[in-house]
Chains A and B, each alone.
Chain A
Amino acid sequence: MWPQQFDYQRADSVESALAAIGDNGKFIAGGHSLLPAMKLRLSTPDQLVDISRIDALRGITNGNGNLSIGGAATHAEIAASAAVGAACPALAQACGMVGDQAVRNFGTLGGNIAHADPASDPPTALVACGATIHIQGVDGSRSVSAQDFFVDLFETDLQDGELITSISLPDCSDCQCAYVKLPHPASRYAIVGVAVCLKMDGDTCAQADVAVGGATVKAVKCAGAAAALVGSSLDDAALSAAAAALSDDIGDWLTGDVAYPEAYRSAMAGVFLKRAISAASG
């Protein structure tokens, strides 16, 4: 609970932040992932560059069928955003389930995904909803899909010195999407979290995207489960088939611990897939 010594400076632009970060610096926005790690001395940066007041990283816009969320937008802002609620309710729901209100008031989406805690909620929704992560470094900017951004346990595609500037999602106003989770009773992180995004053609599911987190070392896109839903009327047989396919989808990425073993999490992924579809359809 006593971090090592570090320097702190506040940046007023993305460019100045990138210039200041140095070899062993860390960007800090809300600090709700970074500071606990520093207090436990699991993370020992020699300086923090505060990006929370950079206007270019704030704000949520929706234009041309594209929802754009600043990297330093807080979970609370996203959860309360009418634009997010309309375009991608699953993400609003996921951000509304992060920590508690005080955490959501400080914690940011960019910081959350950079940390890539496998049990955090937003990554699962971002992967299901086809988000794109926009990244800037001193050598320029690039974009990567959420699915490719999350690489492994606490591991992302983000390189040293790079900054997440924004996260964009296709406007999915004509979709039905939802995020549900089974929270860990201690931390309220997801033991399993499932996001679904469905496009219905009458009673038939025309398109489906499914992602799972919590039970897995990273947010995993579940193509098999999605395929089992497409073309169905989301009847019991299709849901059971999707749940069965889901356990194959996540099999390589499954994780567990003494309290909540892999077998339990795998079974709950199927249960919460059904609950997510029910929530999306409801």
Chain B
Amino acid sequence: MSTRIFGSGIKRREDPRLITGEARYTDDIKLQGALHMAVVRSPYAHARIVSIDSSAAAGLPGVRAIFTGSDIDLAGLPTAWLIPDSDLKTPEHPALASDVVRYVGDGVAIVLADSRYQAQDAADAVMVDYEELPVVVDPHEAAQAGAPQLHADVEGNIAFRWVMGDREAADAVFAAADVVVSERILQQRLLPTAMEPRAASAQYNAATGELTLWCTSQNPHIHRFIVSAVTGLPENKVRVIAPEVGGGFGSKIPCYPDEALVSWAAMKLGVPIRWAETRSENYLTTIHGRDHVQFVDMAASNDGKILGVRATVYAGMGAYLSTAAPGIPTILHGLLYVGPYTIDNVFCESIGVMTNATPTDAYRGAGRPEATFLLERMMDKVAGALDMDPVALRRQNLIPPFADGYEVATTLIYDSGDYEAAFDKALAMAGYDDFRAQQAQALQEGRYLGIGVTAYTEMCGLGPSQVAGAVGFQGGLWESATVRVTPTGKVQALIGASPHGQGSETTLAQIISSELGFPVDDIEVIHGDTTETPMGWGTYGSRTTPVTGAALAQASRKLKEKARVLAAHLMEANPDDIEYADGSFSVKGSPDQAQSIQDVTLMAHLAWNMPEGMDPGFEESQFYDPPNFVYPFGTHIAIVEVDPVTGSIDLQRYIAVDDCGPQINPEIVAGQIHGGVVQGVAQALCEGVIYDDNGQLLTGTMLDYCMPKADMFPNFELGETVTPSPHHPVGVKGVGETGTIASTPTVYNAVLDALSPLGVAQIDMPLTAAKVWQAIQNANGGN
């Protein structure tokens, strides 16, 4: 493998078009004669629809059609992660509500008009008479007897009850343990807030029966699958195109009502239909993340051995079960309860609860941040209970280094890890021991410094399809790719995954270049169109580099082998005597005689002189189903100072040591970590959805919902260790979510460490100045 391009921090080739505004997003695609769709949305969180009067709206200028739920003959939107053994209920999710609305933003009618303005005027003029029903938004409250009920077929609002581990065995360990610490942890709701809101446009050709849907999708092949099922069109008559997609963070995995509605309206009216949500709609109707109320216990012995973790999780599902929702607080959560530690007893009961709120689904990290947070929070609490240094406690419980498989109590088999190496490196970068002295000195001066240290590992590169099937995921998790080389030696790599900001066009080209010897600038990565690209399950779960990257590496290796045999034939040499270096094939002992990869490519296309049995052309495809997940790991450390007078928090240092195996492009890895850390820190410090008791979203705009800002952050101090995945063709692990997984508990624990001299032991996230101040007042009576 060439070392020059693999591991090189070349600039992202995506960036010029993104920075200069030349990128074409869904809403940039103008369709001749298109009508604009506006959705009439419920202003109530729970209400019965008494009547809908659209007569006045229908007479407004430019209005072409108005449809309500009873007009629409679409199948309900499916839930596609049917977790087994959990008594799962999947309530009907119609594209438009026709009898009951269940959250603010639930669609009740659509207006099609000549312009977006006219569509909105008419949407405002549709008169809907509602009869309000009682509302519940907190998942723990919604699971209690007597709570308002959302769906007749979901008794007690409990959509599923998933259990991992043996409750009695866990209880026995806890009963016998020297120390048990407990905490109620709130994983608040978050708004994914991709830069580009969702959009969808559809065009139907009645003569051919073909529907084309342009939409903001992380997984156009899954969208095709679902749109086919919902509309009844055969899959081969549905083309889904995800043009430039401006971020997703999980929120563009699901198939939403809006995508089904534009498709239906395009078929019904025979003209193209466009729709793009506003940011306000985005906050109301695009999935939210997290929303757990967790009751967590951790058991330990007096000498600091962690004996067990036990949690009951009430996971808010919102009003309907979104596409992948049931899998997030279960499979992607409970299975992570061991983390990087030797914990032998784990138990999780995760209860999926319907609430009068926006549906939740995967949001960057998806279940794993919620697991890592509870582990790391409880580690600090155990350290406090035992009066141990939290670093010493963690070190004592770290899993020892392993290079090829380590089975943990949750049944996962971690691929490789050297946790203590990353731990030591981060502690050295932070100067941990010196910091403790500085902290003590600062306290003498009335200053409150704190440090948080998180060791983590996580499961990504989703994943083996057999496992997907076993855990109820209604799809495979392999990827496929085609490496197609033109006669002049230019490469088109067609992939089924659908990157949307990760820099994969650059990273994947670097893999191909390093395998095959074509210059990286001669390689183009093509994605996002179900007709142009081979099947794939999409970009999420830090899987595109591990899974698609492996498919591309293997397809490239097939081509390289073909090239070697053809080169030998052309040079009249034995294939075993062919040497390869930097895109050139030569005969051992005769370095003057050489064929470049471009020469060989041309000859393969011309096919004038092929070896016996070799087909012409220079193109290979590869399906890749990973044999295991990949498990990146690392240690993050934060240092904060809290102003006890105002409760304001100053994040002074942030150190992240991550191990994602060999780094293909260190700049892109750093970018992923920066972005992930920012999102995770924002959960700790400022982001959080607030609903009032009526289910109204109080954080419906960025005036109230706190997106992180650059001036909240110091320069990040990044380090890495390199532990290859043993099962991956180039050894890489995913790095798209590690930042959000590790950073939230790191900063939270740092703040609570700073506040410990004041007697503050717990604050619900986000740690706003007002909450910190109030906690200080409560702890010391304001003195």
Please give me the residue from chain B that is nearest to A189 by CB atom. Answer: B703
Contact with A along B698-725 (1 / 0, CB 8 A): 1000111111010010000000000000
Contact of A185 among B121, B124, B690, B768 (CB under 8 A): B768
Q: Which residues of A contact B703 (CB under 8 A)?
A: 184, 186-187, 189
**A-B complex: 10 closest residue pairs judged by Cβ atoms:** A1-B278, A186-B706, A2-B120, A187-B703, A264-B770, A185-B706, A185-B686, A260-B770, A2-B117, A258-B690
Q: Residue among A182, A185, A267 with the most chain B CB within 10 A? A: A185
B residues 679-700 touching A (CB-CB < 8 Å) = 685-686, 690, 692, 698
Is there a chain B Cβ closer than 8 Å to A268's Cβ?
A: yes
Q: Which residues of B contact A258 (CB under 8 A)?
A: 690, 692, 698
Given contacts A185-B686, A258-B692, A259-B768, 13 further A-B contacts (CB under 8 A): A1-B279, A1-B280, A3-B117, A5-B117, A40-B280, A182-B646, A182-B769, A185-B706, A186-B702, A186-B703, A186-B705, A189-B703, A264-B774
Given A4-B121, A268-B646, A271-B646 in contact, is the A259-B770 Cβ separation under 8 Å? yes
Is there a chain B Cβ closer than 8 Å to A41's Cβ?
A: yes
Contact present for A186 and B704 (CB under 8 Å):
yes
Contact present for B707 and A2 (CB under 8 Å):
no
Query: Please, could you name 27 A-B residue pairs with CB atoms under 8 Å apart, sorted by A?
Result: A1-B278, A2-B116, A2-B278, A182-B648, A184-B706, A185-B685, A185-B686, A185-B706, A185-B709, A186-B702, A186-B703, A186-B704, A186-B705, A186-B706, A186-B707, A189-B703, A191-B770, A257-B698, A258-B692, A258-B698, A259-B768, A259-B770, A261-B770, A264-B769, A264-B770, A264-B774, A267-B773
Contact present for B773 and A264 (CB under 8 Å):
yes
Contact with A along B366-385 (1 / 0, CB 8 A): 00000000000000000000
Binding site for B on A (CB under 8 A): 1-5, 40-41, 182, 184-187, 189, 191, 257-261, 263-264, 267-268, 271
Q: Is the interface of B mostly helix, strand, loop or mixed?
A: loop
Q: Which residues of A contact B712 (CB under 8 A)?
A: 185
Is there a chain A Cβ closer than 8 Å to B152's Cβ?
A: no
A1 vs B704: C-alpha distance when bound (angstroms): 17
Q: Which residues of B contact A271 (CB under 8 A)?
A: 645-646
Please give me the residue from chain A that is nearest to B280 by CB atom. Answer: A1
Please give me the residue from chain A that is nearest to B277 by CB atom. Answer: A1
Quote the shortest CB–CB distance from B38 to chain A (angstroms).
8
A234 vs B611: C-alpha distance when bound (angstroms): 96
Quote the shortest CB–CB distance from B712 to chain A (angstroms).
8
Quote the shortest CB–CB distance from A154 to chain B (angstroms).
14
Quote the shortest CB–CB distance from A167 to chain B (angstroms).
25
Q: Residue among B685, B707, B770 with the most chain A CB within 10 A? A: B770
Given A40-B280, A258-B698 in contact, is the A186-B686 Cβ separation under 8 Å? yes
Quote the shortest CB–CB distance from A75 to chain B (angstroms).
18
Quote the shortest CB–CB distance from A193 to chain B (angstroms).
14
Please give me the residue from chain A that is nearest to B706 by CB atom. Answer: A186
Please give me the residue from chain A that is nearest to B698 by CB atom. Answer: A258
Q: Which residues of B contact A264 (CB under 8 A)?
A: 647, 769-770, 773-774
Please give me the residue from chain A that is nearest to B197 by CB atom. Answer: A1
Contact with A along B95-118 (1 / 0, CB 8 A): 000000000000000000000110
Contact present for A187 and B646 (CB under 8 Å):
no
A264 vs B645: C-alpha distance when bound (angstroms): 11
Q: Residue among B116, B648, B702, B704 with the most chain A CB within 10 A? A: B704
A7 vs B609: C-alpha distance when bound (angstroms): 74
Given A1-B280, A5-B117, A268-B646 in contact, is the A41-B770 Cβ separation under 8 Å? no
